[in-house]
Structure 1
Amino acid sequence: MNKWLTTGEMIDQLTVREVAISQSGDEASWEGGELMFEPSTHKIMENNFSRRMNKVYQNENWKIRPRYVSFEEAMKALREGKEVRLHYREFDYYVVNKDLMHDMLIKLDIADASFNTMLTGKWTIENV
């Protein structure tokens, strides 16, 4: 979620179970094959919104929020040979695969992280 995307880029890159957040606080996600929008609280209070694509969203900029999974889901994906990441602190994360799990645990201990960080941390599955 580093760079701002145009509405078209967001639509092309957004996958099922991901959520995109606009600069104005709106959210977009795929629901049943349809791109749906959840307006910001401000727009709801003004009764100035739509849950479907319209010109209001045409000039928005978006960032796709990662879909975080639990530690258990991440470990299951790891056993299946997928790459998972633990997002630790705001800009730092570790890429994990079966062979590097032990090394990552050592690095986390050096970084003063606890086992609790792994259990309650924010994980993503990279190659779903």
Structure 2
Amino acid sequence: MSYGDLDAELRRRDPSRGDAGLLQKYGQPLGIIGTVIEEIRAEALDETSPVPRVNAMMPPLEALVVRGRERLPGKGINDFLISYLRLLGEKTPEDLMLREKDRRAAVERIHADIKDWQDWSILEKLARE
């Protein structure tokens, strides 16, 4: 979904929303989602935490929002992508972010992981709280 698609969907759900103007304003909320997912992963690795261990491999959902023409997430998300790729065993994920072809392949892999993820319920629960 592009930033424009996200904006259109939010306005469809809430017709009182005005025009978003610069769509980069969604970067901060997406960054918050990325930070929450990182925290969930850390909690899942803590044996004293009630967060199920399977969540240690939760993919970065915020990567679904992409720039319209490029069809890639903005560069501001790179740290989240790198962190996840490192979890997957990638030795030099920073290098993948430098070349568009490699970054595109990494993002496609992450998008597939997001699609295949079986349980987003922990994020749903947090969103309702």
TM value normalised by structure 2: 0.28
Larger radius of gyration: 1
- Tell me which protein shows more helix as a share of its residues: 2
TM-score (norm 1): 0.28
